[in-house]
Amino acid sequence: MTEYPETGLLADAESGSLLILHARPYGEGEGQNVLIEDGVIVDMDAAEDTPADRTIDAKGQVLLPGLVDMHVHLREPGREDTETIATGSAAAAKGGFTAVFTMANTRPTVDQPIIAEGIWAKGQRINLCDVHPVGSITKGLEGKELTEFGMMARSDARVRMFSDDGKCVDNPLVMRRALEYARGLDVLLAQHCEEPRLTEGAVAHEGEIAARLGLRGWPRAAEESIVARDALLARDYGSRTHICHASTEGTVELVIWAKEHDIPLTAEVTPHHLLLTDKRLETYDGVNRVNPPLREDRDVQALRQALLDGIIDCVATDHAPHGSEEKCCEFDLARPGMLGLETSLAIIADTFVRTGQADWRWLAKVMSEKPAEITRLPGHGRPVAVGEPANLCLVNPDDPWTSYGHESESKSVNNPYEGMDFHARVSTTILRGRVTYQDGKVSAPRREL
Ligand SMILES: [Zn+2]
């Protein structure tokens, strides 16, 4: 059995050998026959009749590294009625993901090693996806007292990212201390950029549509002022800082400025901010409430260009399940958040690859390699090559399908893409040589829960 030295993770004893026939790595060249043994790619040019425990015919399909999502909410512990580590892992596997980072705003908050270890261990028992807990920056997400980054980083969960996501660390002195603390440990701080004094009672993007509908506006400056402040703090205190869910044209300009000044700042963008605008508000449907809110077309265009140019580093879904009673209500009362794990590959592929603006190698970069690099995650986001861990997904680039919330593996149905048609579709996901998802079916969890 193979042990991955950096991760301490074992390939599945039962994963055995897997032969993938006629797959095109990164959608390039002719089909290749890829042989996987004990969770590792051992041959990229295997004979078609090589004996294997399992064979997949992937003719016409694109072979990519398994996707990595550095921003999801799996709601466990505390809101298992809306999502669990098991259902969230299943949704991740169906979406092509082999690793996700689940945010700390659970109940209780992930602010101690024992809570982080519980999440990590449960994810490993289920074994459909590596579930990395994010630790909170402050105790109870209260924005006051820092958590023990060191203890969480050294725990069995090996916490490598900290965030109060859902809330902004708005006190600049607390953020400064967090950055100084994080620097010594080389962990990543991820900021939910929202100056709360500018967004009190705000439910929608501050613009002409919200004004017409009588909805309280969330101005761009509430995000951008924190992005600017944290870029300056990162410059002076030198710790790696990450901007969650960038949503405005101005944020893009600030990230350009930070990178020009060699500030260690990275940024992510969600599929919904790359696809949807505040025109959705006209439906008054609570499913369209999200934080930061859906913006205007000029923001969408700026975010798309920034992702293509590498200014914004990666895509992250901010998969945020909510129960029907939290969404099917007045817009003002709806909880912010959208599902995203099962639709993200299709959105990015259809928006950028199908239109010829980018290729599959770029998609692998923004959905797998970069998030693994930013989080310093070993074993994921690696090249599709001999000797590498078999964390992979297969994509059919032209397999038209329609997104329906009730068909989701998630426990919730707050799907903003209900009834939308897509072309690209994940057919198979492989975690350390074990098939976790294939053709509509998620594999059974490895062990009883
Ligand atoms: Zn957030």
Q: Is residue 50 part of a domain?
A: yes
Predicted confidence at residue 325, as pLDDT, reads 85
What pLDDT digit, counting tens, does each position of 23-71 carry?
Answer: 999 999 999 999 999 999 999 999 999 999 999 999 999 999 999 999 9
Predicted confidence at residue 11, as pLDDT, reads 56
Residues 230 and 137 in one domain: yes
Residue ranges at the known binding site for substrate: 73-75, 105, 291, 322, 336-337
CB atoms within 10 A of CB 195: 16
Q: What is the mean pLDDT of residues 93-108?
A: 98
The pLDDT confidence band at residue 4, using thresholds 50, 70 and 90, is very low
- Whether pLDDT at 409 is above 50: yes
CATH of the domain at 25: 2.30.40.10
Distance in angstroms (rounded) separating the CA atoms of residues 5 and 224: 41
Q: Is residue 388 part of a domain?
A: no
Residues 112 and 77 in one domain: yes
Final residue of a structural domain among 382, 408, 432: 382
Residues 343 and 233 in one domain: yes
Residues 298 and 404 in one domain: no
Q: Ligand 1 centroid vs 139 CA: distance in angstroms?
A: 17
Strand pairing partners for 189?
162, 241
Let me know: does 76 contact 84? Beta carbons within 8 Å.
yes
Residue ranges at the known binding site: 71, 73-75, 105, 165, 192, 245, 291, 318, 322, 336-337
Final residue of a structural domain among 382, 404, 434: 382
- Whether pLDDT at 162 is above 50: yes
Strand pairing partners for 314?
268
Residues 301 and 363 in one domain: yes
Predicted confidence at residue 1, as pLDDT, reads 42
- Whether pLDDT at 123 is above 50: yes
- Domain span at 421: 17-62+395-442
Q: Is residue 1 part of a domain?
A: no
CATH of the domain at 158: 3.20.20.140
Predicted confidence at residue 447, as pLDDT, reads 63
Known catalytic membership, residue 318: yes
- Whether pLDDT at 192 is above 90: yes
- Whether pLDDT at 292 is above 90: yes
Residue ranges at the known binding site for Zn(2+): 71, 73, 165, 192, 245, 318
Model confidence, pTM: 0.96
Residues 224 and 111 in one domain: yes
Predicted confidence at residue 448, as pLDDT, reads 52
Residues 54 and 179 in one domain: no
Residues 406 and 362 in one domain: no
Q: What is the mean pLDDT of residues 243-263?
A: 98
Residues 424 and 324 in one domain: no
Task: Tell me the average pLDDT of the chain.
Answer: 95
Predicted confidence at residue 255, as pLDDT, reads 98
Q: Ligand 1 centroid vs 171 CA: distance in angstroms?
A: 17
Residues 399 and 278 in one domain: no
Read out DSSP for 284-323?
A: --GGG--SSPP--HHHHHHHHHHHHHTSS-EE---B----
Predicted confidence at residue 331, as pLDDT, reads 86
Q: Ligand 1 centroid vs 255 CA: distance in angstroms?
A: 18
| Structural domains in the chain (count) | 2
- Whether pLDDT at 113 is above 60: yes
Q: Ligand 1 centroid vs 308 CA: distance in angstroms?
A: 22
Q: Is residue 12 part of a domain?
A: no
Residues 46 and 74 in one domain: no
Among 8-22, 130-144, 400-414, the range scoring the smallest mean pLDDT is 8-22
Q: What is the mean pLDDT of residues 306-317?
A: 98
Query: Of 318, 332, 359, 439, which one is the catalytic site residue?
Result: 318
Predicted confidence at residue 15, as pLDDT, reads 75
What pLDDT digit, counting tens, does each position of 335-372 carry?
Answer: 999 999 999 999 999 999 999 999 999 999 999 999 99
What percent of the chain has pLDDT above 70?
A: 96
Residues 170 and 247 in one domain: yes
Contacts of 448 (CB under 8 A, 6+ apart): none
- Whether pLDDT at 141 is above 70: yes
